[in-house]
Every structure is written in C-alpha cells, then in structure tokens.
C-alpha cells in the first residue's frame, strides 16, 4: 500500500487520520473501503445473512488482491459515523466475518475513539493482509478480488492463476528458507567464533548470489514495510561484502593503495571487517525470521 495518503500501519491511525480523509473527500480505492456499520443495522433492505456475506466478500477481495484497510464507521461519502462499540471485544466482532473463509483472512484491528468526552463512540480500522495462499474462498466457496474500489467475482482463469501463483510462491519460499538455513548453519559453524589469523577472508563461504536470487524470487515479501526494510538491509549488506572482496583483491594485486604494513596485518584486518559484516547479516536474517513465518534454525 505504498504512496497512499493514509498510514498502512493502522496503529498509526488517529482521529486526525479520519478527519483528513473526510476533509478531502478521499475516495475508496484499491486499498481503502468505507463501511458505515460494524454490525448488521437492520435497515439496509437486506437480510442479516446477506449483509454479513457482503462484508465477508470485502475481506476476501482484499486478501486476494494486495491487501487494504476497511474503515468501519465511515459512509461512502467519507462522512464519519462513529458508533457505540459492541458489548464484546471488537476484534471478536471482526473475526465473525472471516472465521469461515478458506484460508482464514489475516487482519489487524485498531479502535479510534472520537475526541469528544461526551461520547464513547468509535471508528474501527481493520487492516486486511494480502493472503500468502491464494485464492481465498468465502464461506459459500466463492472467490472475489479487489479491483479499484469494488469487490469483483473472480472468473475461472483468475482463480486458476491464483492457484498457480500460490504454488510458485510456496516453492520460492521453500527455496528461500533452504538458503537461509544454509547461511545460518555456516555462520554457527564458522563465523560465531571466527579466527582473526593471517589467512584471506573466507568470502566463498557466503553464497551471496544464491541469497540475492531467492530474494528476487520472493518479491511478495516486500509488501510489508518492515519486512521490506529488513530485506533491503540484507541486500545492502551482501553488496557490501561483494565490494569488500573486490577491494581486498585489488589491494592484494597492487591495483589500489594498500594501507597495511604487511600481508599479515592486511589479512587480520580484512578478516575482522568481513566478520563484522557477516555478523550484521546474521542479525538481519534473524530479524527477518522473527518478522515473518520463515523457518530458520
């Protein structure tokens, strides 16, 4: 949800966010949907079952696209209509609409109270995450996708393509996990206690090209801002190691100035620098594992 005029992290949503959307008459779009009611209002000309089914379809449509945010308590014309919160937990109310989807839609919920002290009315923003396994089906086995500002039923070709893409993505994720496993094992065997001896740095032990390739094959991970930030850090560190190896080779061959008094000091110093870079790479990969569902030792 890049380049949007509202935060993609719903924990950052405040009443000022609601007012800014309303003031500019911000339209619904691929990533944003307004719903006036969180619970069946009884005055929509539809049955409760039909109304709940429509809400469920909104969730699955976002999940089958690139994710998005549903703001409950705002009319289609962007006018805020905060409501009295339900007696039970708001998150449980949201889960009622998605607990029969297959797979279950992943969401985050935040409650935005009105600034007035005379009421406890709220607006609820729900972040719908893009599904990692597509397509997501509704409780009645239908498939919808978000296109512009509408949920649209998916045709057969779209459904089949989602299955194919999911299979490709799962294979890419498994390959990524294998490469990360290999790096972690190498790190723990060699670099957790890396000797600073008079030997060239062991650049060959880090398969940088394989790591770069698996990240290129898993671009779906970049949709989450924090995950994207970590991956960019990993790729930057891999490029830094590449540059460090080239610089070492140039110094070794006398192509560039060598500031070290002899080969022993050059090797010790460059091994220490290399170790520090690999340490940071390991930290970033551990952060990535914690941020996502990727499995590493």
Q: Which residue has the higher pLDDT, 296 or 281?
A: 281
Torsion angle of C-alpha atoms 58, 61, 63, 65, degrees rounded to 10? -140
How much is the mean pLDDT over the chain? 92
Co-location of 242 and 192 in the same domain: yes
Distance CA 268, CA 294 (A): 35
| C-beta of residue 37 within 8 angstroms of C-beta of residue 58 | no
pLDDT in the model for residue 1: 65
More confident residue, 226 or 211: 211
Domain count, the chain: 2
pLDDT tens-digit map of 284-294: 999 999 888 77
Query: Could you tell me if 38 and 80 are in contact, meaning their C-beta atoms sit under 8 angstroms apart?
Result: no
Confidence at residue 43, expressed as pLDDT on a 0 to 100 scale: 74
102 in a domain, yes or no? yes
Residues 148 and 14 in one domain: yes
Does the structure show a pLDDT above 70 at 275? Answer: yes
Q: Bigger pLDDT: 220 or 150? A: 150
Same domain, 181 and 139: no
Could you say which of 110, 129, 154 is where a domain stops?
154
Cβ distance 135 to 159 under 8 Å?
A: yes
Whether the predicted pLDDT of 20 surpasses 80:
yes
Does 149 share its domain with 248?
no
Same domain, 166 and 247: yes
The answer to whether residues 106 and 124 belong to one domain is yes
28 and 76 Cβ atoms separated by less than 8 Å: yes
What was the pLDDT predicted at 141?
Answer: 92
CB 61 within 8 A of CB 32: no
pLDDT at 297 over 70: no
246 within a domain of the structure (yes/no)? yes
Q: Tell me whether residue 242 is in a domain.
A: yes
Residue 64 confidence (pLDDT): 94
> Same domain, yes or no, for 148 and 20?
yes
Residue 260 in any domain: the answer is: yes
pLDDT for residue 221: 85
Residue-level pLDDT at 224: 78
Identify which of 32-46, 109-123, 149-163, 232-246 has the greatest average pLDDT: 232-246
- Is residue 164 very low, low, confident or very high in pLDDT (cuts 50, 70, 90)? confident
Among 129, 154, 179, residue at a domain's last position: 154
pLDDT tens digits for range 88-113: 789 899 999 999 999 999 999 999 99
- Residue where a domain stops, chosen among 116, 132, 154: 154
Residue-wise pLDDT for 216-273, tens only, equals 999 888 877 889 999 999 999 999 999 999 999 999 998 999 998 899 999 999 999 9
pLDDT of residue 116: 82
Please, which pLDDT band fits residue 168 given cuts at 50, 70 and 90? confident
pLDDT at 194: 93
234 lies in the same domain as 139: no
Where in the sequence is the domain holding 111, given as residue range(s)? 10-154
Q: At residue 116, what are phi and psi to the nearest 5 degrees?
A: -70, 135
Domain holding 115: CATH number? 3.30.950.30
């Amino acid at each position: 949800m890049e380049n949007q005029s509202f935060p993609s992290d719903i924990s950052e949503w405040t009443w000022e966010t609601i007012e800014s959307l309303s003031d500019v008459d911000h339209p619904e779009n691929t990533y944003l949907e307004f719903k006036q009611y969180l619970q069946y209002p009884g005055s929509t000309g539809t049955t409760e079952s039909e109304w709940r089914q429509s809400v469920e379809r909104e969730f699955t449509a976002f999940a089958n696209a690139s994710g998005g945010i549903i703001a409950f308590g705002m009319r289609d014309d962007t006018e805020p209509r905060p409501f009295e919160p339900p007696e039970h937990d708001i998150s449980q109310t949201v889960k009622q609409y998605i607990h029969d989807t297959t797979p279950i839609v992943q969401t985050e919920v935040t409650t935005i109270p009105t600034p007035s002290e005379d009421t406890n009315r709220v607006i609820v923003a729900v972040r719908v995450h893009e599904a990692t396994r597509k397509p997501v089906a509704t409780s009645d086995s239908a498939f919808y996708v978000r296109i512009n500002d509408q949920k649209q039923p998916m045709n057969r070709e779209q459904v089949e393509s989602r299955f194919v893409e999911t299979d490709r993505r799962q294979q890419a994720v498994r390959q990524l996990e294998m490469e990360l496993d290999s790096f972690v094992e190498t790190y723990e065997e060699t670099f957790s206690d890396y000797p600073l001896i008079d030997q060239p740095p062991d650049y060959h032990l880090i398969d940088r090209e394989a790591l770069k390739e698996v990240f290129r094959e898993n671009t779906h991970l970049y949709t989450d801002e924090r995950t994207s930030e970590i991956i960019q850090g990993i790729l930057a560190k891999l490029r830094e190691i590449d540059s460090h190896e080239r610089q070492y080779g140039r110094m070794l061959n006398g192509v560039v100035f060598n500031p070290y008094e002899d080969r022993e000091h050059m090797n010790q110093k460059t091994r220490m620098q290399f170790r520090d870079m690999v340490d940071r790479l390991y930290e970033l990969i551990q952060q990535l594992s914690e941020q996502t569902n990727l499995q590493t030792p």
